[in-house]
Amino acid sequence: MSVNHAQQSDAEATNADERVREVSILNRLLSRPELGSVSGAVLVFLFFIIVAGDSGMFSPDGVLNWSMVSAQLGIIAIGACVLMIAGEFDLSIGSMIGFAGMMIAIPTMYWDWPVWTSIIFAFALALSIGFTIGTIVVRTGLPSFIVSLAFLFILRGLTIALAIMFTNRTIVGGVRGAAEGDLLAAAFGGEIGGWLFQWLADVGWLQSFPDGTPIITGIPMIIIWWFLLATIASWVLLRTKYGNWIFATGGDAKAAKNVGVPTNKVKIGAFMFTAFCATVLAACQVLEFGSAAADRGLLKEFEAIIAVVIGGALLTGGYGSVIGACFGALIFGVVQMGIYFSGIDSDWFRVFLGGMLLLAVMFNNAIRRRVTGAAQ
């Protein structure tokens, strides 16, 4: 009789153990950080299909347009997402775009460096600055918001000062001509898949110009970089030990440090990755437009943070999704181009951004409370 009672007690304890508790499909969906951004993207697409479906927005070249806009924000949103999951902010992202772009253009056009050398030089400078910001944050204990805000002004001012010093102007052009035949430049400013689009045009599945050139000559490298960075960052976060360290550092840095997680190195690495993503975007823009501008990237740091928050990341760290951040960037791109195609006054775009940020924070907070309550 006592044996049966003991077995029954063990079974009840097992059933009460939340680690083996069955979770409904609904709760599983609600626990995914990217749920809000995916749902928002679906609603945005449906809205513009109705409002601007016949405007060319969803034609091949229209899709390419809003995909490129989304990619520009998506690249830096990936870096911002990883850093926010680690529990920190970087407000210098936008200034880093302008700085890195100028560090590619000035050596190329005024010091006669090969473009590939200038690109490597820009990445080296950006990574060292990211390392510096991260080191200051972890060594001093100052909020990353304040430290990176200081570097926002430092980098923007330094970009303008160096541009005036070496070129006597704030816009440096001519980079595209200097980049012809440069393999590393092609990795940022080229296209891939041209043969496929030419074949689609030849068989009549894609529109072409009178000379037979397809309206889309290839997939721009900025889109390729977006997907590449999203894939790698997601894999690192979800499938590697370093990804666990990032989540643990953002969730509770002291507890993570007590169990052996190198939290300081994790944070510094996240700052460097953010600087890397900003430089990728800078290189793509310089080689796409053929020029660098000192004011490029203005306010992009805030748009990146909004995209990350829409993607489900918590401002407190320890929770988020790179895929969600990418969908947040996709919403931006679709809305920005959708407003243009539908003829809506573009002044409403900023209103949309603010509204989306507020709704995303409220939605994420409600979902977190629901999931936490269900788990108790």
376 residues of the chain, pLDDT tens digit each: 444 554 455 545 445 444 445 656 656 666 677 777 888 888 889 988 988 888 888 988 899 999 999 999 999 999 999 999 999 999 999 999 999 999 999 999 999 999 999 999 999 999 999 999 999 999 999 999 999 999 999 999 999 999 999 999 999 999 988 998 898 999 999 899 989 989 888 888 888 888 888 889 899 999 999 999 999 999 999 999 999 999 999 999 999 999 999 999 999 999 999 999 999 999 999 999 999 999 999 989 999 998 998 888 888 888 889 999 999 999 989 988 888 888 877 777 778 778 877 777 777 667 666 655 544 4
Answer whether 0.85 is exceeded by the pTM: yes
Nearest to 54 by CA among 352, 341, 370: 341
Nearest to 302 by CA among 365, 230, 353, 268: 353
What pLDDT, on a 0 to 100 scale, did the predictor assign at position 376? 41
Residue partners of 50: CB distance under 8 A and separation at least 6: none
Whole-angstrom CA distances from 54 to 29, 204, 227, 331, 341 are: 34, 21, 28, 19, 9
Task: Answer whether 73's CB lies under 8 Å from 281's CB.
Answer: no
Tokens read off for 179? 């980049």
Distance CA 168, CA 154 (A): 19
Which value, in Å, is the radius of gyration of the alpha carbons in the chain? 24
Nearest to 371 by CA among 13, 32, 4: 32
Ranges of each domain in the chain:
36-364
Fold of 36-364: ABC transporter involved in vitamin B12 uptake, BtuC (1.10.3470)
Q: Which residue shows structure tokens 């479906």?
A: 53
Task: Answer whether 320's CB lies under 8 Å from 33's CB.
Answer: yes
Whole-angstrom CA distances from 131 to 125, 246, 254, 257, 274 are: 10, 16, 21, 20, 10
Whole-angstrom CA distances from 48 to 10, 64, 310, 330 are: 57, 16, 19, 13
What pLDDT, on a 0 to 100 scale, did the predictor assign at position 18? 47
Tokens read off for 366? 């409600």
Task: Answer whether 123's CB lies under 8 Å from 331's CB.
Answer: no
Distance CA 288, CA 279 (A): 14
What pLDDT, on a 0 to 100 scale, did the predictor assign at position 74? 96
